[in-house]
Structure 1
Amino acid sequence: MARANSHTSVALIVGVTGMVGCSLVELLKKPTTSGGPWKVYGMARRQLPEWFPSFLLDDFVAVDALDNNDTIEKLGPLAPKVTHVFWVAIQLCEDEQVNVTSNSTMLNNVLGTLKSDPRSPLKHISLQTGTKHYMGPIFDPSLAGQLVNHEPPYREDMARLPYPNFYYALEDLVASYSPSVTYSVHRSSIIIGASSRSFHNALLTLAVYATICRYQGLPFRYPGSKYTWEHFCDMSDAEVLAQQHVWAAVTDKAKNQAFNCTNGDVFTWKSVWRVLSEAFDLEFVPFDDEDERFDWVGFMKDKEKVWEEIMEKYGLIQTRVKDATCPEACSIVLHLGFQHVCSMNKSREFGFFGYADTLKSIPIWVQRLRDMKIIP
């Protein structure tokens, strides 16, 4: 009973089944994690998948945060308990203005429900966004060819771009609760982690592609441009992101600040392709100019039946290619005409030193996906 009353911090992870949500759960339940002992509530739109470590959660609520009534009904009972919100949820469609509306509605419904209770002990909101902050809405086809991005490496003090961007709207929303509630913003790069429930999961997309190539005896062709094959990019390990979220939540100096969060190194996609080829026991295929004409998005859309065969053969959990992968988004990133690189100087200056070796992280996360029976 003494243990049950010893929690000094109560976390609500919104988007708990995504890559970073999973890593946050694991980190917060470690006895050595700062700010603890932590009680951890998870929230997502759907019920927990079978691979999720539900035993780590103190409770879970399935909530449609777009529905204010559902949010009040399901989340209201937690309002007198939650001290920290970790927002790693996202709703995405091609139209960025729609993204602004839907994501703002979700965040507003959740925070409004929590803060409407006069007993609310909420003191910090940790918001995850990304490098689209510096590039603009690159996935909105109506703006294709019109965007002008900042020159990399990206720094947190760069001005906002003159395009609709739901990241800007969410930052403004959490800032509106200050000073009674502090906040932190975490701008990730391409996230690598393990989940079948993330909207943009580049690693799972490439893992499914590699698995299909091996299953069908096809060459593992690079579905991007020569520029990205040769030039620098960076990634964000889900565990490093989780570490930064928690660090900012319990560090006074980090309050009301925005931070980039990447692994701290850079790579070329050529080097990643070697790592993936080895991880999936595939022959490394050097880039060829013919690859520029490879309709990879069409290739992936045509592989639902093949993936069903693979799932049945290897006893995998049930997923659909169109739900678990994001070839359209990956293709855009793999055809960028500039180096996708962030500066981590501000984080280091403020005292966060988390890092990961990207080329070593990738096979670790591939193995995690295998252990979870998401890929063979």
Structure 2
Amino acid sequence: MAHQNSSVALIVGVTGMVGVALTEALANPTALGGPWTIYGVSRHSLPSWFPSSLLNKHIMLDTLNKQNTQKLLSPLSAKVTHVFWVAISVNDNEEVNISKNSSMLSNVLNALTSSTDSKLSHVTLQTGTKQYMGPIYDPTLSSQLVPYDAPFREDYPRLPFPNFYYALEDIVASYPESFTYSIHRSSIIIGASTRSYYNSLLSLSVYALICKHENYPFRFVGNKYSWEHFWDMSDARVLAEQQIWASVTKKAKNEAFNCTNGDVFSWKLLWKVLCDVFDVEFVTFDEKENFDFLEFMKNKGEVWDTIVEENGLYKTKMEEITCFKAIDITYKLKIQHVCSMNRSRQFEFHGYANTLASISFWVERLRQMKILP
């Protein structure tokens, strides 16, 4: 066990893309604020690909269950100094999102702050660019949204729509006597996990491998606007780095930061990288083809089962590890999906990643983890 005065992290959502990256970053002997004791919370048991030897303790817990959360986490209140919130409950209806995600966060914070010897000093909260676009996945609200102009800036006022990110921000800000917080707004996250709901890279990898296996063209899944205009992404390692930095840096306390790789790409450019990585032929985007991505992927689960079986991969179901519906909505937006990183730089956080190089790095990790062939 770590010595008396060390930092103790509780990563909630530890098996997701950023949970994996945080576990590895905190376990590094050179991690800011270290040495760290690392506790991880997830709804299910740890998968074989997870670096479980880096955790001091794993807690299997559905944080929606108030009684269980109190029972399992309140005994840790005298130990845990930092909460890293990278958990999410995803629902089509934004009011349901608000209710479930708020309950999860409140249950954890109440369990850790209810005793007089609570050691909790900082909470890092991960959100995203829906902060600036609104609830794009809620079918009853999405058609009414008018997103902010890019690049998205942290000082943009809240949009007049329900948004669970706003609710979570208000919850962490409601404990001013107990702990400080930092908010981290990611773009499209790239990392390695089968347990992240919005995993674009894994979804596109599955799509590419199915196209290759069945001899289909690997067509772009969005619109002409996305194909040609600028986007950004967030490497899970940069997110982990920024979250750890903010958790131990005095001037970053009670602040919100965008967190992206700091560069931009067009999907046309990134599609070429994916084609190289998966050894499929590059097909330029043709609007006239009117390609229906969701229809195309609808019955491909058995093809994925075959690929998993033939390559002796970690057992996954296509429907459980992909987010095709979210991709279909996101990549058809007619906006430049780009965040400003100026605020981070002004606060002297200079983490960055080369997005195009990140793609091959994380695909290689997914292969090492036996998630991809």
TM over 0.5: yes
1:120 aligns with 2:118: yes
SS of 2:10's partner is strand
TM-score of the two chains, using structure 1 as the length reference = 0.98
User: Residue deviations 1:322-351, cap 9 Å, x none?
Assistant: 110001101111101110000000000001
Change (3 A) 1:188 1:4: closer
Name the structure 1 match of 2:98. 100
Name the structure 1 match of 2:336. 339
How far, CA to CA, are the matches of 1:72 and 1:115 in structure 2? Answer: 10
How far, CA to CA, are the matches of 1:189 and 1:245 in structure 2? Answer: 14
Q: Answer with 66-75 or 224-233: which moved more.
A: 66-75
SS of 1:272's partner is helix
Select the residue among 153, 156, 159 that pairs with 2:154.
156
User: Residue deviations 1:130-177, cap 9 Å, x none?
Assistant: 000000000001113211111111000000000000000000000011
Name the structure 1 match of 2:58. 60
Name the structure 2 match of 1:217. 215
Name the structure 1 match of 2:192. 194
Name the structure 2 match of 1:9. 7
Name the structure 1 match of 2:81. 83
Name the structure 1 match of 2:300. 303
Using the TM superposition, give the Cα deviation of residue 299 of structure 1 relative to its aligned residue in structure 2, in angstroms: 1.9
Q: Aligned letter for 1:353? A: H
TM-score of the two chains, using structure 2 as the length reference = 0.99
Name the structure 1 match of 2:272. 274
Select the residue among 352, 355, 359 that pairs with 1:355.
352
Name the structure 2 match of 1:133. 131
Q: Aligned letter for 2:273? A: V
Q: Aligned letter for 1:289? A: E
Name the structure 2 match of 1:229. 227
Conserved? CA contact 1:219–1:285, under 8 Å: yes
Change (3 A) 1:7 1:370: farther
Conserved? CA contact 1:45–1:62, under 8 Å: yes
Name the structure 1 match of 2:315. 318
1:51 aligns with 2:58: no
Q: Aligned letter for 1:337? A: K
Q: Aligned letter for 1:333? A: T
How far, CA to CA, are the matches of 1:253 and 1:19 in structure 2? Answer: 27
Q: Answer with 295-304 or 59-68: which moved more.
A: 295-304
Query: In angstroms, what is the RMSD of aligned CA positions?
Result: 0.9
Name the structure 2 match of 1:294. 291
How far, CA to CA, are the matches of 2:271 and 2:185 in structure 1? Answer: 25
Select the residue among 327, 332, 337 that pairs with 1:330.
327
User: Residue deviations 1:11-63, cap 9 Å, x none?
Assistant: 00000000000000000011111100000000011111110010000000011
How far, CA to CA, are the matches of 2:183 and 2:119 in structure 1? Answer: 20
How far, CA to CA, are the matches of 1:320 and 1:77 in structure 2? Answer: 36
Using the TM superposition, give the Cα deviation of residue 179 of structure 1 relative to its aligned residue in structure 2, in angstroms: 3.8
How far, CA to CA, are the matches of 1:28 and 1:59 in structure 2? Answer: 14
Q: Aligned letter for 2:214? A: Q
Conserved? CA contact 2:135–2:142, under 8 Å: no
SS of 1:196's partner is coil
Q: Runs of at least 4 residues of structure 1 off by over 6 A?
A: none
How far, CA to CA, are the matches of 1:184 and 1:5 in structure 2? Answer: 26
1:373 aligns with 2:370: yes
Using the TM superposition, give the Cα deviation of residue 7 of structure 1 relative to its aligned residue in structure 2, in angstroms: 5.4
How far, CA to CA, are the matches of 2:119 and 2:72 in structure 1? Answer: 18
Q: Answer with 119-128 or 298-307: which moved more.
A: 298-307
How far, CA to CA, are the matches of 1:183 and 1:261 in structure 2? Answer: 16
How far, CA to CA, are the matches of 1:167 and 1:144 in structure 2? Answer: 16
How far, CA to CA, are the matches of 1:196 and 1:368 in structure 2? Answer: 12
User: Residue deviations 1:51-98, cap 9 Å, x none?
Assistant: 001000000001111110111122222121100000000000110010
Q: Map residues 175-190 of structure 1 onto 2, 5 A cutoff.
A: 175-190=173-188
Gaps of 5+ in 2: none
Change (3 A) 1:256 1:100: same
